[in-house]
Each structure stands twice: as structure tokens, then as C-alpha cells.
A = this chain, B = another copy of it.
């Protein structure tokens, strides 16, 4: 089995500080062996790093990069909660919500910005099911929000 912690080091990825809630909720809830994360956004130090809708104020490349940053934040939250990413036995589902004013954009390609980071870190046996859609607007006008459900080892 691939070790996610070893993969992180080999990829030269340094996890950021896990984001903190913007409201009356927590960043992750464990129930049984499922870990539900809060919607992950492309923030750095609690501030939006990307602002605007994909296909309108931002192009697809920025959307894809924002998806990768949100995925990185998801890894940071999971690590903070579990102690080690090697406790993740599977990415169950990844939802990628893309802010759009209704323009036609390559939604699967943008979502791959998140999926590919997860796949590099967790390896090919832990690839998720996925939901992708374009929504009207996201918190603080960010372009991407991720829904993440992880399966954890006992």
C-alpha cells in the first residue's frame, strides 16, 4: 500500500495550516469510520486566494489551481484531525462545486485539479467517487468548494 505521508514528502508538498471555521460549525466530524469534512475552499491563512466565478472573472486554469488549493486544505484538515494521513483508508467521495454564471466550461477538467492531488497522495487504490457541478455563487465569492468524505482505519 502507498503511504500518504511518504507520498507527500516525495512530492515535496508541505501542508498548510488547517483552515478555521467562518461560522458556527467545525472543520471535520468523524462518525464510525467516516470522516466528513466541511466544504473546503481555496483559502490561504483564512483569506480567499482566488476570487470570482470560473468562466467569468476567472479562467479555467485558475479554477483548476483553486481546486488543487482547496484539496490541499482538505489534506491539512484531515491530518490535523487524524494525526497522520496514513489513517485514511479511502477517499469515499469528492464533490467539486464550481462557481459559474452559467458559462460553458470544462467542469471535469477543473475538478481534476482536486482529484489529481488526492490520487497522487493516496495512490490509485483509494480513488473517490465524484460529483461535479456549477453553482451560482460560493462563500466569499470563491470559485471552488469541495465536499469530502474519507474512510479511516479503525
Contact = CB atoms under 8 A, between A and B. Distances in A.
A21 B112 CA distance: 11
Given A29-B129, A133-B135, A22 B108 contact: yes
Contacts of A129: 25-29, 36-38
Nearest to A39: B131
A119 B23 CA distance: 12
A93 B141 CA distance: 22
A149 interface: yes
> By DSSP majority rule, is chain A's interface helix, strand, loop, or mixed?
mixed
Interface string A118-152: 01000000011111111111111100010101010
A33 B38 CA distance: 20
Contact of A130 (B25, B105, B109): B25
Contact of A139 (B27, B33, B34, B133): B133
A18 B105 CA distance: 25
Interface residues on A, range: 35 or more
Nearest to A24: B115
B137 A134 contact: yes
A32 interface: yes
Interface in A32-88: 32-34, 36-39, 53
CB-CB nearest 10 A-B residue pairs: A134-B137, A25-B130, A24-B115, A39-B131, A23-B108, A38-B129, A29-B129, A107-B139, A22-B108, A134-B136
